[in-house]
Structure 1
Amino acid sequence: MSIKIYNENRLTKQPFFHSLMEFLDINHDVTLRVIKGEFKDTNNLDRKLEDYIQSGLIKRENRRYYNNFKVFDDIDFTKELEEELEEPNKIQILSYSKPFFLRDNSMLSSKLNESQTYLLLENEVNDLKFFFSSNFARTDDNLANYFYHVAQGIPLSNLEKDIYRIMGDVDPNYALRYMTVFLLKYTKRELVPNKKPDIFIQTLIKYNYIEAVDGKYYKINIKINDDFVNPQVIIFDNPEEFIAAQLKTTRKIQTSFIV
């Protein structure tokens, strides 16, 4: 596949869209007859094609069909890829919600995947938050990525498969309620008495957020941060501006919980 899609939605996840997108990327001046000939085994082709047109993913002009999006490549970000960029002083959560498209196996795609994104997990019971730093591809093993991968149906890592066997497709807010109540004990003591671990304590152990000591206690291995300033959230309307800002975000920050 020559095009990598980020922020996929219901339409871009469809196998037919992926095949059509790749076909239109290398074939131009394509008519409906040509599309039907190429994808003759596709059910409801006309309806799907109309959905893509209405959503703005595909353009129909003079009875010809085209991809209606830019596929970003190395040449579009020469400065960001070749020059040493200054890291933003503040921790910023950068957000762009719509699908965007990069040339696969490009330096741009590799650099974007290696950049850092910052993630907060909150719950409805108390003010404790988890803070994570993850590569943009979200292949790092942490609790935020686990919930994201399960919700999006993304294949799980080996560790995440272990976590899934422990607590499965649990509601994140439900899990966080129990985890945070337990972790709040560490604001008053360094060691917490060991008890029979439930699925949530087992999960914290698996991620090495806590560990058993002398068979009697648990100690915490992540930082407790009580002077944390919430990251600035920047919402982008333009994918090019978002990518340029994301490429600058390379600082990996230690996992912590915030009180």
Structure 2
Amino acid sequence: MIKIFHTNRMTRQPFFQALIHYLHEHQDVTLRQIKAAFEGEKNLDRQLDAYIEAGYIHRKNRRYQNAFRLLDSLDGLSLDQEIFVDTESALFDQLKEVTFRRQMTNATNDLIIEEDVDLMRENLTLDSYFYKMRTQEELSEDQKKLYAILGDVNPDYALKYMTSFLLKFTRKDKVIQRRPDIFVQALVTLDFLEEISPQSYVLTMEMDRKQLIFRKIKDEA
């Protein structure tokens, strides 16, 4: 089975994904075969032409095949690039271990949030959460926990309050938040903070006071 990471509007379409799986499993496919396999699909010819024009499908001598390259190496990967990978290949499991160091800045203060973001963007990180909100890709189960707190919040608005609260730890080891606050709750869910007693929080991130970099400690497997 082919899995696509970082889909766009076209590659996210159910027909596109069903078609590339069909072409992956069948050779020397004709238009008649495609229409028989996807009987009832509206505007099939028009969609096929769009996939061909976009470079995803190749048509030659009235035969159709996938035109994209399946991932065959981890060399040169970049975060958020579109990737087609065979889920039965050895590389598929290796992809889960690929991470990128990401820094999030904000317009309110100089504080920087630093996280290790997985290439698949399935882990619970603030950077990946905002990415999924922007691209409308499906949230992982862990990310849905954050969505239950924040919803589709404006990133600048959220970072304003999150970073302002984190800055308090440059002056104190323990910070008290007497009123319920969704942004503090989100910081706990992200494992940036720990609530040690009701309304009392300690930082669980590494902090560089000089550069104001707050780095999430990488989870140990």
TM-score by length of 2: 0.84
Q: 4+ residue stretches of structure 1 with deviation over 6 A?
A: none
Which among 198, 203, 208 is matched to residue 191 of structure 2? 208
- Partner SS state of residue 95, structure 1: coil
CA distance in structure 1 between the aligned counterparts of 2:139 and 2:49, rounded to whole angstroms: 30
Counterpart contact for 1:94–1:117, Cα < 8 Å: no
> Aligned pair 1:153/2:152, yes or no?
no
Query: How far 1:116 sits from its partner (Å)?
Result: 1.8
Which of 1 and 2 has higher RCO (CA within 8 Å, sep 6+)?
A: 1
Counterpart contact for 1:3–1:103, Cα < 8 Å: yes
Counterpart contact for 1:114–1:137, Cα < 8 Å: no
- Partner SS state of residue 46, structure 1: helix
Which runs of 5 or more residues in structure 2 are unaligned? none
Partner of 2:4: 5
Query: How far 1:226 sits from its partner (Å)?
Result: 4.2
CA distance in structure 1 between the aligned counterparts of 2:111 and 2:12, rounded to whole angstroms: 35
Query: How far 1:216 sits from its partner (Å)?
Result: 6.1
Return closer, same or farther for 1:142/1:21 CA change in 2, 3 Å cut-off: same
Counterpart contact for 2:122–2:140, Cα < 8 Å: no
- Partner SS state of residue 10, structure 1: coil
Partner of 2:63: 64
Query: How far 1:98 sits from its partner (Å)?
Result: 4.5
Query: How far 1:133 sits from its partner (Å)?
Result: 1.1
Counterpart contact for 2:123–2:140, Cα < 8 Å: no
- Equivalent pairs counted in the alignment come to 215
Superposition RMSD on alpha carbons, in Å? 2.7
Which runs of 5 or more residues in structure 1 are unaligned? 82-92, 231-252
CA distance in structure 1 between the aligned counterparts of 2:24 and 2:77, rounded to whole angstroms: 29
Query: How far 1:168 sits from its partner (Å)?
Result: 1.3
Of 215-224 and 5-14, more deviation after overlay is shown by: 215-224
Identity, % of aligned positions: 38
CA distance in structure 2 between the aligned counterparts of 1:173 and 1:155, rounded to whole angstroms: 20
Counterpart contact for 1:128–1:180, Cα < 8 Å: yes
CA distance in structure 2 between the aligned counterparts of 1:9 and 1:165, rounded to whole angstroms: 25
Return closer, same or farther for 1:115/1:41 CA change in 2, 3 Å cut-off: same
CA distance in structure 1 between the aligned counterparts of 2:60 and 2:114, rounded to whole angstroms: 47
> Aligned pair 1:139/2:138, yes or no?
no
CA distance in structure 2 between the aligned counterparts of 1:60 and 1:96, rounded to whole angstroms: 30
> Aligned pair 1:167/2:150, yes or no?
yes
